[in-house]
Each structure stands twice: as structure tokens, then as C-alpha cells.
Amino acid sequence: MIAADATAAAQLEAARKRVAAADAQVGEARAAQRAAADQYKQSLSQITGTQAQVGPATGRLSEANSAPQQVAVRRGKNRFEMLINSKEHEMHHRAQLMVIERLLGIVPHPTRNRQRPKESAQRSTT
């Protein structure tokens, strides 16, 4: 019977420890819930403040859109100048791509095309 009392006492102590651990978890959960509620209230107040700022900004935007737009058009470009400008623009981007290829260790195709005839001429002479 003494062994049974000792076992019952140990079980009771283990149960009390589990209850205490559960109480601690409940306390942590309640603290986290309060923190989440406070954060929600703070976010809600930020949203309200932002919405108050959006109203006047929307009004200014609609005023700006209703104002007559002035588009600066440069006159005097003939077709040749427009073609030259587009070609220069293309060459600019092509050069950018060639720089990127060289940074990646790739030989750009114009360089490869120039090297091929030189290599074949060297092979034929040797």
C-alpha cells in the first residue's frame, strides 16, 4: 500500500506540473493575443490616417488631369533625322549588350565574325 501511495503521489505531482505548464502556455497565448490586438489597433489608426491623406491627394490629381495638357513638340525634324535617331538608339543598346556579353566572358558575334576570316587565312597559309 505504501508503494501505491508513492505512485499516486508521483502521478499527482506530474499532473500538477502539467497543469502549471498548461497555465503558463495559456498566459503566453493571452499575452500574444493582447499584443496582436494592440498591433491591429495601431495598424487601423495608420490606415485611417493614410486614407485621410489620400482624399486631398486624389483631388489634386483629378485637378491636374482636368487641366489642359501642354505637350512640347519639337518641329523641324525631317525623316532622315528621325531615322538617324532611331539607328543611334539601336546602336546604343547593341553596345550595351556587347559590354554585358564581354563581362560574362562571351565573345560578341561581331568580333567572332571578324575573327573567322583571319583564322581561316592563317590556316590556309600554314
According to the model, what pLDDT value does residue 31 have? 92
Q: Is 123 a residue whose pLDDT tops 90?
A: no
Q: What's the mean pLDDT when you consider all of the chain?
A: 83
- Residue 111 burial (CB count, 10 A): 13
pLDDT, tens digit (0-9, with 9 covering 90-100), for 31-65: 999 999 999 998 888 888 887 777 777 777 677 66
Q: What is the Cα–Cα distance from 123 to 126, expressed in whole angstroms?
A: 5
Who has greater pLDDT, 123 or 104? Answer: 104
CA gyration radius, the chain: 39
Please check whether residue 20 is in contact with residue 28, taking contact to mean a CB–CB distance below 8 angstroms.
no
The domain limits of the chain are 1-65, 79-125
What's the CA gap between 77 and 55, in Å, rounded?
Answer: 43
Closest by CA to 111, choosing from 120, 101, 103, is: 101
Q: What is the pLDDT of residues 63-80, one digit of tens each?
A: 766 666 655 556 667 888
